[in-house]
Structure 1
């Protein structure tokens, strides 16, 4: 079935409005309704690196560049063809690919006896010969490593788990294998792929050739730090044709980076001078950004004819490249590429607004029940200081087919209808969740903190109504009492686990203590 996002949005909107019109919530207005997550609209957050990649792709395509994918595995000889004598210095920073060799496994009498003990029966001569052939086929790469366990299980007529035990205990050759490196490397820069791509197509397609590729590169840094990673994304393009000059590089840089808010540009000679560029053409692009000032954002140059000749390319080629992570760091204001790329491994930061959204109700009434919550609050607040014993009818109507009356009352003589903490409201200040009254002592909390949109009375009433609705379904009335609050659950509050973890990790606190002393009773009318 095809997923229609517009239909989904419309149905969600109708669902939301229907539930809201069923009874406006006393807890929070619809724009910040946190009580009913099903009705929320959530704006998903893109990763800054991939958001930057997407914007670069759109810009390249709008500029007329075709998208390409270059080889990610590059043979060592390609680096020599491109860099010449400088290749050894370049190869010092690349990752060589390796693998485990196939062991030459011998099968003797001792091995057969151990195998027999593991599988619980004597290995026959036929099975022994089939076992030898299977291991030999594996050595010759006729059987893939992924299939070895299954093949041996079929030969020995046993299950895979026992074969794993056999490989571990009978054939130590497998456990003692050490990887061996070959001559293939992981691409350390996009140029190594452009030479191969252009060498294959330059005589077969119309000129000028305009290609771009945004993909991973790998560089064996001595260590990762705030500015560099061993795996990064390169956004690279080439323009190949008879009339290609340095002006093409400047024009591409201006057009590409202007979409990121850069305005003025400076082009400065790059002292690094890679051997695959014509001398004095390697250029650093500095751009003026309204927020960040002058920053280096890209490098371009004209490929050396000698490097191009190694691939039979007979036209000039301009190459421009930039590091996606660097551009994303500038755009997002990040100071550490590790935290930007892998936020899941960095300490998570939440604002007071984020934590306020993490406060919700533990027990929630139905949509219709929210009207009852509102009615309870409307009756309880004006009579908060009434002296008990006293009782006030807050609502009368039908719940689950039963005619129900609901009262707010104080059964004890001399006590007030509402305890002092009923009027406390939830605020988040400096990472702490606090329940405070509207007094001078807590004026700073109420002024500087972020309201969670809940009071102790509202939360307790919501929990009571949920219990009343359940009792009504059983044809019964019920009495719900709240006494001294020490924990969020005592007043029907719930704090999301991630928020609690953040609060404890950062030595913040949750303080919702206070005397509630609220009694809400329901009875079934005749």
Structure 2
């Protein structure tokens, strides 16, 4: 089936307008069902970090703060201007921006001969001149490095793949290049970008200036651990104006954090005392959350007049910042910021409900009549499960693929019952274990605490039998399906998705679907 992306987009827009607020976790609009099975609608999972960012942005905007993008690349001199004598220690934790120099590549007769040997064509004077102009243009920055291969292929009139071979074997300078560092750093604190921004706008906008930014910062941590990453998100704001005081920071902190359920606040001096803040103004913010209790969530202070003077800023400025990952860890009760941020790099953890969704049937009937036959088999077998054998019960009579078919449930052997003891077992997931259990006192805790899959052995086998009966009827044949002992999921027509099986085995969880089923379902063509 050809996939038309524009048609899909239009269907998605139309369907979501009517279905988005309906509330179910899985949405399969009629327009999309069966048309784009790979793109079935479902309520997707939001990343906890970006969910927190979205909530922070909404809170700031509702408080009247304008959103800004502050510079990421900070010159080393600006770090000294902002931090003063402390800059040397700060620079130990920043990343310097580096890159590969562009080599001055010469073209000798030996190299021209080597190129000719690869291309199979001698390099004439005109081609040599074009190649020299190409390499000189690259050195001067007239085009980027990722365009070099194409430019050389045009000059030499060969395929790009040939040029790659030429660069690898004829011009070793490119492989021998070593990166060189500049004096430009990656922003380690949002403050660095705010000083550059304030220098340009403080006297050109009406006071007070209220701005916020939620963006990445970069710190050269010696190693990443459960609470530290080399790149993190900072939610930072500034308030600039003649009457700005520490009380402004308290008001902003309370308003911002109340949007996350914090109900009480405590402010205490921060012992770290960054040089870009006025003495005695750097303050730690603790919030009391109804679930997590007292937690440190933010820091604010008034920028030092000396640091502001370096940028010609003539009004007081309050700055408040918080680590987004820190707040997200509190809200989600996460213990490791690495797993919280990069969940896809760690083994997933599935709830019992998620595992229950991964349990399904291997074979099912394809027709509506077949599904009705499954219900009829269950209705006939359940009340007669303990009837002594030999016995047979008619379950369903109807038409399948143009043939009138009668389906029976039977047990031909003597001294038994219609169904085996495990036939009525139901499949539950409890603490990651997938269990087929009967309805009795011994397994009452599994049934009470576990998550039901909605599948019993009887239901699964009935579906298997009718699927086989449908195929036989299509061929004009009769058939009989018998299931005796269950040792594996496939024995009772159960399928557990591969990712769930991997989770169960990796975490040494139990998979127990054993038991005597002893169920026979037969079909007969009725003339």
Normalised TM-score (structure 1)? 0.89
Distance 1:316 1:465, change over 3 A: same
Aligned to 1:340: 340
Q: For the residues of structure 2 that align with 1:427 and 1:289, how far apart are their CA atoms?
A: 36
Question: Aligned to 1:422, what secondary structure does the other structure show?
Answer: coil
Question: Aligned to 2:248, what secondary structure does the other structure show?
Answer: helix
More off after superposition, 185-194 vs 200-209 = 200-209
1:74-103, Cα deviation, whole Å (9 max, x unpaired)? 122221221222222211111111111111
Contiguous gaps of at least 5 residues in structure 1: 19-36
Aligned to 2:433: 432
More off after superposition, 410-419 vs 53-62 = 410-419
Q: For the residues of structure 2 that align with 1:15 and 1:68, how far apart are their CA atoms?
A: 36
More off after superposition, 485-494 vs 468-477 = 468-477
Q: For the residues of structure 2 that align with 1:287 and 1:44, how far apart are their CA atoms?
A: 31
Aligned to 2:518: 517
Q: For the residues of structure 2 that align with 1:252 and 1:102, how far apart are their CA atoms?
A: 49
Q: For the residues of structure 1 that align with 2:415 and 2:295, how far apart are their CA atoms?
A: 73
Q: For the residues of structure 1 that align with 2:441 and 2:458, how far apart are their CA atoms?
A: 20
How far apart are residue 320 of structure 1 and its match?
0.8
Aligned to 2:18: 7
1:144 aligns with 2:135: no
Question: Aligned to 1:423, what secondary structure does the other structure show?
Answer: coil
1:418 aligns with 2:419: yes
Q: For the residues of structure 2 that align with 1:481 and 1:88, how far apart are their CA atoms?
A: 79
Question: Aligned to 1:61, what secondary structure does the other structure show?
Answer: helix
Q: For the residues of structure 2 that align with 1:522 and 1:335, how far apart are their CA atoms?
A: 58
Q: For the residues of structure 2 that align with 1:38 and 1:151, how far apart are their CA atoms?
A: 40
Q: For the residues of structure 2 that align with 1:105 and 1:465, how far apart are their CA atoms?
A: 75
Aligned to 1:449: 450
1:114-171, Cα deviation, whole Å (9 max, x unpaired)? 3223223333333233222211211111121111111111222221112112211221
Distance 1:234 1:367, change over 3 A: farther
How far apart are residue 64 of structure 1 and its match?
0.7
How far apart are residue 254 of structure 1 and its match?
0.9
More off after superposition, 516-525 vs 141-150 = 516-525
How far apart are residue 447 of structure 1 and its match?
4.4
1:48-77, Cα deviation, whole Å (9 max, x unpaired)? 111111111111111111111111111222
Distance 1:140 1:9, change over 3 A: closer
Distance 1:292 1:15, change over 3 A: closer
More off after superposition, 339-348 vs 168-177 = 339-348
Aligned to 2:191: 191
Aligned to 1:392: 393
1:210-259, Cα deviation, whole Å (9 max, x unpaired)? 11100101111121111111111111111111111111111111111111
Aligned to 1:26: none
Aligned-pair RMSD on alpha carbons? 2.7
Question: Aligned to 2:422, what secondary structure does the other structure show?
Answer: helix
Query: What pairs up with 1:57-72 in 2 under 5 angstroms?
Result: 57-72=57-72
The number of aligned residues is 508
Question: Aligned to 2:423, what secondary structure does the other structure show?
Answer: helix
Distance 1:388 1:263, change over 3 A: closer
Distance 1:119 1:509, change over 3 A: farther
Q: For the residues of structure 2 that align with 1:9 and 1:318, how far apart are their CA atoms?
A: 41
Contiguous gaps of at least 5 residues in structure 2: 1-8, 31-36
Distance 1:10 1:476, change over 3 A: farther
How far apart are residue 332 of structure 1 and its match?
0.9
CA contact (8 A) 1:16 1:39 kept: no
Distance 1:441 1:264, change over 3 A: closer
More off after superposition, 149-158 vs 468-477 = 468-477
Aligned to 1:407: 408
Distance 1:476 1:118, change over 3 A: farther
Query: What pairs up with 1:86-235 in 2 under 5 angstroms?
Result: 86-235=86-235
How far apart are residue 358 of structure 1 and its match?
1.6
CA contact (8 A) 2:263 2:287 kept: yes
Distance 1:364 1:11, change over 3 A: farther
How far apart are residue 396 of structure 1 and its match?
1.3
More off after superposition, 423-432 vs 256-265 = 423-432
Question: Aligned to 1:382, what secondary structure does the other structure show?
Answer: coil
Normalised TM-score (structure 2)? 0.89
Aligned to 1:28: none
Q: For the residues of structure 2 that align with 1:120 and 1:419, how far apart are their CA atoms?
A: 79
More off after superposition, 247-256 vs 345-354 = 345-354
Query: What pairs up with 1:240-389 in 2 under 5 angstroms?
Result: 240-366=240-366, 368=368, 369-386=370-387
Question: Aligned to 2:222, what secondary structure does the other structure show?
Answer: coil
Q: For the residues of structure 2 that align with 1:11 and 1:347, how far apart are their CA atoms?
A: 32
Distance 1:117 1:524, change over 3 A: farther
